[in-house]
């Protein structure tokens, strides 16, 4: 599925990559270069009229890190509106608190791994054959 974005956001997304937060840098170190089960993630990816922290198109997954600005009601409402719009494209969100990424990244990574394994189970049904069997009919 092709996901569109506003081309005017490209330069802003470059600037955000250059000025990443510590949490974004820490998580990016774990996601870049297909380190997470071979899936390619992009950071500061424009989607529709928004920029998301991390995106993997094959998983239809966005990962967002929520910092202190998300403590305010208005910022929370804006994030929820943005998430609802993007989810209409069939994309799922995983959200993590900034402090969890900084102080408990192992749990953050386990949550992402769990999402990936569930995704693979849903999208790659097991073979109906037992190891060594084939799909050819045996003659009697």
The model's pLDDT over 20-76, given as tens digits with 9 standing for 90+, comes to 999 999 999 999 999 999 999 999 999 999 999 999 999 999 999 998 765 578 888
Please report, in angstroms and rounded to a whole number, the separation of the first and last CA atoms in the chain: 47
Give the pLDDT confidence score for residue 68 in this predicted structure: 74
Res. 19 pLDDT band, cuts 50 70 90: very high
The dihedrals phi and psi of 54, each to the nearest 5 degrees, come to -140, 145
Q: Which CA distances in Å does 53 have to 5, 33, 37, 115? A: 14, 16, 19, 17
Domains of the chain: 9-122 (3.40.960.10)
- In what order do the strands lie in the sheet containing 61-66? 42-47, 50-56, 61-66, 92-97
Cβ atoms 43, 28 nearer than 8 A:
yes
Cβ atoms 60, 3 nearer than 8 A:
no
**How many Å separate Cα 118 from the centre of its chain?**
13
């Amino acid at each position: 599925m092709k996901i569109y974005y506003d081309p005017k956001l490209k330069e802003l997304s470059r600037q955000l990559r250059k000025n990443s937060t510590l949490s974004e840098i820490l998580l990016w170190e774990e996601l870049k270069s297909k380190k997470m089960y071979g899936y390619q993630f992009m950071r500061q990816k424009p989607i529709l009229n928004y920029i998301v922290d991390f995106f993997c198109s094959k998983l239809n997954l966005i990962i967002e890190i929520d910092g202190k600005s998300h403590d305010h009601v208005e910022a929370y409402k804006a994030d929820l509106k943005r998430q609802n719009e993007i989810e209409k494209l069939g994309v799922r969100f995983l959200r993590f608190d900034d402090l969890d990424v900084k102080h408990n990244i192992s749990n953050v990574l386990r949550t992402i791994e769990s999402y990936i394994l569930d995704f693979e189970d849903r999208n790659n049904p097991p073979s109906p054959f037992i190891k060594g069997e084939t799909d050819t009919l045996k003659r009697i």
